[in-house]
Amino acid sequence: MSKTAQGLVEYCKAQLGLPYWWGTYGQTATAALYREKKAQYPGYYTADNFMSQLGKRVHDCVGLVKGYLWSATPTSTPVYTASEDCNVPMLYNRCTRRGSLSGMPDIPGVCVFMASMSHVGVYIGDGYVIEARGHAYGVVKTRLEDRGWALWGMPKYIDYSDTGTYTCKVLYIDCKEW
């Protein structure tokens, strides 16, 4: 099954409002998963509300993209795929097209990255991004211009062929159909 840019957008929209757990990619939150992740990443599991989130689907920022890649539907159990596992810098480096935000194509499904390579989100169109922002926020919709995104990229695991021609957000750049 091909994973498309539009499919990534729809997956992310279906995750809005769900919790953020560091080191996760769409699994269902359980006490066992909490214990495993707390042991693995103790500095990220200090809040006192994790147990109230049991039974919900959980992601971290790059886990939002991996959750889409590894799940048949927005609610199905993800199946881990080692060849596609990556952190934020690795995801950026695996983008077939990428660049500075000033030249980002207006294509829903493009990933956006912080310059520090510490965070990634998914552009959904009309100036908005869905991101697994952190434990205090969960999966949220934010304005592209409000969060300090610096780079964009099209991960090689996502099919962007149906997105057609695009326009750039910067004047005087010669953008071509690909």
Give the 3-state secondary structure of the chain: CCCEHHHHHHHHHHHCCCCECCCCEEEECCHHHHHHHHHHCHHHCCCCCHHHHCCCEEECHHHHHHHHHHCCCCCCCCCCCHHHCCCHHHHHHCEEEEEEHHHCECCCCCEEECCCCCCEEEEEECCEEEEECCCCCCEEEEEHHHCCCCEEEEECCCECHHHCCCCECCCCCCCCCC
pLDDT score, position 142: 98
pLDDT of residue 1: 52
Q: How confident is the model at residue 123 (pLDDT cuts 50, 70, 90)?
A: very high
173 has pLDDT over 50: no
% pLDDT > 70, the chain: 91
Residue 162 pLDDT grade (very low, low, confident, very high; cuts 50, 70, 90): confident
Task: Tell me the mean pLDDT in the region 159-165.
Answer: 78
Check pLDDT > 60 for residue 23. yes
Q: What is the mean pLDDT of the chain?
A: 92
Query: Which pLDDT value is given to residue 170?
Result: 40
pLDDT tens sequence across 75-112: 999 999 999 999 999 999 999 999 999 999 999 999 99
Examine the pLDDT at 164 and tell me if it is beyond 80. no
- pLDDT tops 80 at residue 177: no
Q: What percentage of residues in the chain have a pLDDT greater than 90?
A: 89
The pLDDT, as a whole number, for residue 163 is: 74
Contact 64, 122 (CB under 8 A): yes
